[in-house]
Amino acid sequence: MAIKKALEPIIGPRGVAALYHRSLHVCVAEHPWLVEVRAAPASAVDLPALRGMLLRRDPREGATACVAVVTTFCELLGSLIGDSLVERLLAVAPPSSTDTGLRRDSTP
């Protein structure tokens, strides 16, 4: 929720939701079971549903998917506002794009 709280004043709730759903969309390629979480309305960020889905998976698989979603979210945000601003807003360095295959010079 801290990410949502930090970003909503800047990009709005719909902007945060759009990044969240795009992150899920990108991650479904490697984690097809995430499609169930994507079924939520596009204007909503249903973190309890994502958490529940992750907890129902094998711990290693759930953790890998969680890292992929957060990494993808940060990368997408960085491509919009820049990595240094992401780092300042979220107080974390954005993950390397090599983790998810997402590149800034091409569209997934």
Q: What is the pLDDT along the chain (108 residues), one digit of tens a residue?
A: 588 888 888 889 899 999 999 999 999 999 999 988 866 676 788 888 899 999 999 999 999 999 999 999 999 999 988 888 888 888 755 555 544 444 444 444
User: How many other C-beta atoms are found inside a 10 Å radius of the C-beta of residue 95?
Assistant: 18
- Supply the pLDDT for residue 102: 44
- Supply the pLDDT for residue 37: 82
Give me the chain's average pLDDT, please: 82
Encode 62-78: b = buried (16+ Cβ within 10 Å), e = exposed: bebbbebbbbbbbbbbb
